[in-house]
Amino acid sequence: MRVALSPAARDLMAAWLADVGALRGGSPATVTAYGTDLRAFLAFQTAHQGDQLGLGPLRTLGLRDMRAWMAAERGAGVGARSLARKLSAVKAFYRWWAKREGFDATPVLSTRAPRFERKLPRPLSPDAAKALIAQVEAQDSRDWVAARDVAIVTLLYGCGLRRSEALGLTGAVLPMGDGLRVRGKGGKEREVPVLPAARAAVARYAALCPHGLAPGDPLFRGIRGGALNARLVAKVVEAARMQLGLPATATPHAMRHSFATHLMDAGGDLRAIQELLGHASLSTTQAYTGVDTARLLEVYRNTHPKA
């Protein structure tokens, strides 16, 4: 049964989401996800309290209310990782609300997220990454399309870009120099170095592209000239990895993982890699030390005489 929120609760949620989107640089997808998670939380608390929930009861939720919500989510089959994400949205809302109206939100903010095992990135080997780029180039008979696909995948691997960051580039980056300013998550900008191979790949694409690449236009174009769809990039990489017999984990994002892991293997500084990737937290970048450790343990088990 659909539970109605009070008008005051709906208005407050709308104000917070507007703040997340406008002032904090949240992407439309982030704002939508936050809204979905918070709306479900408020609906649960409304039913849990047995009446339409106004702002007063919302301010006084206790740990027992929070635990009841979390138990219901787990009972509905929500995994630990997803529940931790939902709790993060709820806490962000309460932190904003408590600061705005000056009340104590400790019971909500002190609720512990469920523990979950972080999945280690699945990078490709250097040879596999190079083979994938070569296969991408061989997949389309149209020279400009093949050059476009190679340029994108080379930027993912050579500069550690997210797929959305590469597709967000405009003609203003041409001609590409030794450095590239990228707008990442939350609208944060960072400067990344551009390897000669990446510069050459982008230059070749720009020379062959039949569509205008004015400074305000998307750099990477679809067949009809519109901005290239992210799903098409995934399909290109999927076709290449199937041709090469690579695992399903060989995705566009795996090229970014490979960039970071190969830098780590070469002795790269963790802080420097954090800046290159645009990670807000060092703990996110530290996952790559786990990849390195996992690889070392595998070598140890396979080669050590006493293993």
Residues acting as catalytic residues = 162, 185, 253, 256, 279, 288
Q: Phi then psi for 148, rounded to 5 degrees?
A: -60, -50
Q: Which amino acid is at 145?
A: V
Residue carrying structure tokens 């020279």 = 143
Answer yes or no: are the C-beta atoms of 205 and 144 closer than 8 Å: yes
Bridge partners (DSSP) listed for residue 193: 179
Q: Nearest-CA neighbor of 165 among 263, 27, 289, 32?
A: 27
DSSP H or E run through 8:
helix 7-22
Q: Is 77 helix (H, G, I), strand (E, B) or coil?
A: coil
Phi-psi region of 273 (alpha: psi -120 to 50; beta: other; left: phi over 0): alpha
Query: What count of other Cβ atoms lies within 10 Å of the Cβ of residue 296?
Result: 10
Q: Which amino acid is at 253?
A: H
Q: Nearest-CA neighbor of 118 among 298, 291, 305, 292?
A: 291
Q: Nearest-CA neighbor of 258 among 81, 140, 133?
A: 133
Long-range contacts of 119-122 (CB under 8 A, 24+ apart): 120/287, 120/290, 120/291, 120/294, 121/254, 121/257, 121/260, 121/261, 121/287, 121/288, 121/291, 122/247, 122/249, 122/250, 122/254, 122/257
